[in-house]
Amino acid sequence: MAENEASPAPSSKKFLSSQEWPARVLTTKNLSVVIAGGVLIVALAKADAKDIPQIVKILVESKTFWAVGWILAIIFLLLAILAVRLLIGFYRSELDRVAKERDNLQNMMLERMPPK
């Protein structure tokens, strides 16, 4: 086949890359939610129908349940704030470094230019 000729049309069968794969539920950020939901569904499916209201009542009314939830939420919030502040600091220091490098390179190029 010559270089100027068009390549043949791709086949209708296409293998999707991992980025194009439609099952976004199984990505790392959602996997824990999917597993927890699956465990809850299996537990409720295996329990007797008469025990389901009692299980829900125990979970909802448990002070430990909501206290642990709020404590974890506060910890995650503080960690997220810390992570954002660290990233902003890294970003600013990298911008300063790049700007300084740019200025040095510009000065070197200006020194190399012949006088007019």
Summarize the confidence of residues 25-45 as an average pLDDT. 76
pLDDT tops 60 at residue 25? no
pLDDT in tens, 100-116: 999 999 999 999 988 87
Summarize the confidence of residues 8-20 as an average pLDDT. 56
In percent, the amount of the chain with pLDDT more than 70 equals 74
Are the beta carbons of 55 and 47 closer than 8 angstroms?
A: yes
Q: How far, in Å, are 1, 33, 42, 66 from residue 52 at the CA level?
A: 69, 21, 12, 19
Are the beta carbons of 59 and 65 closer than 8 angstroms?
A: yes
Summarize the confidence of residues 53-76 as an average pLDDT. 84
